[in-house]
Every structure is written in C-alpha cells, then in structure tokens.
Amino acid sequence: MIAQPLTTNLIGHESVIGEGDSFQAYAPAQGDLLPDEFTNVTAEQADIAVQKAQAAFAPYQKLSPQQRADFLDAIAAEIENLGDALIERAVLESGLPTGRIAGERGRTTGQLRLFANLLREGSWVDARINPALPDRQPLPRPDLRRMLVPLGPVVVFGASNFPLAFSVAGGDTASALAAGCPVVCKAHPSHPGTSSMVGSAIATAAQKTGMPDGVFSLLHADNEVAQRLVAHPAIKAVGFTGSRRGGLALLRVAQERPEPIPVYAEMSAVNPLIVLPGSIAEDPTKVAAGLAASVTLGVGQFCTNPGLVFMLDGGESLTNAFLETVAEKIRATAPATMLNAGIQQAYQKGVQQIRVLPGVHLLAEAETDADESRTEGRPTVLTTTAPLFMSNTDLSHEIFGPSSLVVICQTEAELADCIDSLEGQLTATLYATPDELQQSAYDWIGRLQEKAGRVLFGGFPTGVEVCEAMTHGGPFPATSDSRTTSVGTAAILRWVRPVSYQSFPDALLPPALQNGNPLGIWRNVDGVLTKD
C-alpha cells in the first residue's frame, strides 16, 4: 500500500507538497521500491524558492559572523538530534552499511562546525587595508580597503554516493551558508527520505537561530526544473557532484544565461596510482593488498577510487607477486550492493566493454557472482600493456564501481607517455623511493602535479580529510574549475568575490575593514599582517 504524499519539499520555512510528478524511493539492497511517495516541485514552485532566497540574501549577508556560525552549529546539532532514524533511512536508501553512514554523519556535522569556527576566526575574508597617503608625490593615494563578500543565492545539487556529507547539508551547503549565500538544494532522487530529514533539520535550525525565511530551501525536482534553477537570474553560482554528462549539462545552461555564472562541478576521475619497482621491492604484497582494499572500499563508489594503476615492470618475480596478491584479495572480496540500479547497470556495462577488448586480460574477479536482485557490483581487476593502453582511449575512462585496470609499462618512457595522455584527475598517487625519483630522467612529481589536485606519496586516495589544507578538485574533467576545492575550509572561496571600498567614512565600512578592527581578525595593512 502506497503512503500518502509526504510534504518533503521546503520552500524557505514552509513545508509543501510538490505539484509535479510523484515518485518512490528505492532500496537497492532489497531491490524494491519503498512505500513512501515523494512529489517533485513544478517550475513555478522552484521560482518561489529562488525568490525567497533572493529576498533573504540582503539580511543574511549582513548578519555577524557569530550569528552565521551559530546557525551552522545549530544545523549540526539538529542533524544529531535525528538520531538512529536518520542512519536507518540512509542505509535503506543507499545500501551502504550502518558504520559507513554513521561515520559520514560525523563528517557532515564536523564540517559544519569547522566552517563555524572559520567564521569566528574571521581572517578568511582576506581584509586588505591601504590607508590614504594624502601627501604622497607626485599623486596622493586614496584610502583603499578590500575584502571578500558573498555572491548571492546559490543552487546545490546533492550527490548520489554520499547521502549526507556531499548532499543536503554537505560541504557545498555548509561552505555556501558560511560565506553568506542562501542555498536552494536540489535533493538527489536516490535518497529522498534522507534528504527530507536533513532538510527539516536545517529548517529547524534556521528558525531556532532567527535566520531569514528563504535562507535554505530543499526541492525534489526533475531535470527540467533543475536546469531552470540554474538559469534563474537570481542564482549566482552552482555546486554539483556527479557524472560528467550531468555536470556539463549544467555548465552549458549557466554559460548560456545573459549573465553567465560559475558552476563548481566535480565530475569524473580515475585517480591513477603509479608504482615504481623500488617502492615494493621489499614487500610487493603490502601495497597490492592495500590497492585491492582501496578499489573495493564502499563498493568502489568513491570519487577518489583508484581506477588506473601504472606499474613499471621490475622483473617477473616482483610484478607477479604484486599481481597475484591483488588477484587473491579481489577474488576474496564479495560483491556488494551499489547505490542504485542505474549505477549498478552502468558499472556492469563498463567492465564488460573493456574486458572484451583485444589485449585486455581479466586478472581477477570476486569468486561469488553478483546478485542483481540486490543491486550488487562484482569486484574486478583487469590488466593490459602500455602500448595497448595508449592505442585505445576507452581504457582511460572512469568506470564508477569496484574495478581497476593495471597497465604494465616496460620503460619509464612508456610510463611517462601514459601519464601525459591522461585527463585531469582529483588525485594521483606515487609509490617510489627517493633514490628512484632522484635518479630518474623524468620529473614524476611535476607530471602528476599537472594532472591532479591532490598528489599522494604512498598511501591510497580514498580517504579525504576535511581540513584547512585539503584540495578536493583538479583539472578538467575532474572538476570544472581547477582553482577550487569542494572539501576543506578553502571551499568557502567559491561563493565569494572581492570588493574594494575607496574613501569611505569609517562608520560606513564593513566591520572587517573598520579602523578599530571590532572583529579582532588578522588583516593585511600596508603589506603587514596584524590585528591592530
């Protein structure tokens, strides 16, 4: 029996039933629809949400940093107040294990509090002050003061693979709200119930802390309405995590507007891992076991999943020991439920398309067949040679799921050609000894730096620390703007622009630029960092 439609859309402080099509959530581990019924908003309802966001912008950006920080802290507290019900719903809708979702909830609330602390510290506004020099010759200098200010209302698209940390209250929303930008969030259809619960937590926090109506809206919407949100003249930027096709579609809409706007889209990466012989000479099995674990972590549904391995052949015994350990670990890893049927089918198709190519060989796959009724993906690792990899660009494309392709390179020149042929990546990992790097004729670190936003020396890329120094971005098509990050405190810089104030009376300046420094933040005054 289908339940009555849920009032799961939030247009500002108001909970509404969408007037568009209805749909049901899917439980991938059960292979079945859930009884709850959700409703999409119409274009007219979406317009109302944007209008509310536009009206909220002026009062919201004028709030003190402390008030916005209190709002973010309140969101984190309200998410925690949802208790086990949120965890259970997210597990049901994503097929991810309870421990993973519990950890992701902690990451979500942690990054909200991280941005709250950033606001209280305050120096992120990059205040720069050059006091007037009226007696300077040959021309006097006017008083000039510069800082970062919010862009305006933004649209955030929830991601499929992180129902909490990259979705309704995820990094995009947290950083945009911290910057002073109202957010209209488009929920991902793979986890509508989870999205609705988190959206309600944000709405509760907004009302408890006295935020203006329209500072946040949550909408279930089809693709047509989603694109209309991006095209709305009041929207000033977009945050997106998903497929290359989806990201490029939004980018086109944003660029075709009378006023083009930035789209910060994280789209596609294979995150190459480079293995030089010296790094595994003592124990090739250790790195191989870690690689297999990284490839299959979360059923391979991390945007930092190492989908390509370039191995410089160090001799038959060394290479074989590495490959045999990878194969052993992959065979022992059971298939597991993927996020939804579409992702599972795309994964299955992608693996099949490359495993039948000439010169591509199956190294190993899980011994147990995948159960399609449970939307399972079967871990798979394939191998090929560098010349064959270079001859077929299909081998460099992302396959979203628990698979990887190992490319055996006979010479450093082959390895360099393979790396140079790659598109932009989120990460690139280098296994090598310092001696190998110093003695090589190739600048491996420089090559990888050109290709990725995060370069690792050892380890595996599937852990993304939320902190000040993290870059989660990279050259196209990893992201649409390689100068930015979607993880860490620097993510706030996507939602702001610089403004200079010239010859203003002190009382009319923003507090961050006033002579007395009432916020007590670090500022650049004539080239010197000071709190004076």
Q: What is the DSSP string of 463-519?
A: ----STT-----TTTTBS-TT--SSSGGGGGGGEEEEEEES--GGGS-GGGSTT-TT
Give the residue-averaged pLDDT of 67-73.
Answer: 98
Report, as an integer, the average pLDDT of 15-26.
94
185 has catalytic annotation: no
The angle formed by the CA atoms of residues 294, 446 and 443, to the nearest 5 degrees, is 100
* Closest-CA residue to 377 (of 298, 308, 304): 298
Give 202-230 pLDDT, tens digit per residue.
Answer: 999 999 999 999 999 999 999 999 999 99
Under CATH, to which class is 273-457 assigned? alpha beta
User: What one-character-per-residue DSSP string does 384-420 give?
Assistant: EEHHHHHH-GGGGS---SSEEEEEEESSHHHHHHHHH
pLDDT digits (tens, 9 = 90+) for 400-414: 999 999 999 999 999
Q: Across-strand partners of 147? A: 499
Instruction: Write down the pLDDT at residue 6.
Output: 55
**Alpha carbon 331 to chain centroid distance?**
30
Cα 243 to chain center, whole Å?
12
Contact 9, 39 (CB under 8 A): yes
Q: Torsion angle, CA of 230/236/241/242, rounded to 10 degrees?
A: 20
User: Cα separation of 505 and 59, whole Å?
Assistant: 22
- Whether residue 467 lies in the annotated active site: no
Instruction: Assess whether pLDDT exceeds 80 at residue 23.
Output: yes
Tens digit of each residue's pLDDT (9 = 90 or more) over 333-365: 999 999 999 999 999 999 999 999 999 999 999
Residue among 401, 377, 27, 20 nearest 190 (CA): 27
Find the catalytic residue in 181, 185, 303, 418: 303
Angstrom distance (rounded) from CA 74 to CA 14: 19
Q: Is the predicted pLDDT of residue 169 greater than 60, yes or no? A: yes
Nearest CA-CA partner of 190 in 29, 300, 371, 42? 29
pLDDT confidence tier of residue 7, bands split at 50, 70 and 90: low
Predicted TM-score (pTM) of this structure: 0.95
Q: 114 pLDDT band (50/70/90 cuts)?
A: very high
Predicted confidence (pLDDT) per residue in 74-89, tens digit = 999 999 999 999 999 9
Q: At what angle do helices 412-420 and 444-451 cross, to 10 degrees?
A: 20
Q: What is the pLDDT of residue 478?
A: 97
Check residue 176 and give its pLDDT.
Answer: 98
Mean pLDDT, rounded, for 41-68: 98
φ/ψ of 408, rounded to 5, equals -90, 120
| 3-state SS assignment for residue 144 | strand
pLDDT at 5 over 50: no
State the CATH architecture for 9-24+37-267+484-494.
3-Layer(aba) Sandwich (3.40)
> What pLDDT is recorded for position 82?
97
Q: Where are the domains of the chain?
A: 9-24+37-267+484-494, 273-457
What type of residue sits at position 2? I
Contact 260, 284 (CB under 8 A): no
- pLDDT at residue number 4: 44
Rounded to the nearest integer, the mean pLDDT of the chain is 96
Chain centroid to CA 289? 27
Average pLDDT over residues 245-258: 97
- Which member of 78, 93, 104, 266 is catalytic? 266
Q: Is the pLDDT of residue 376 over 80?
A: yes
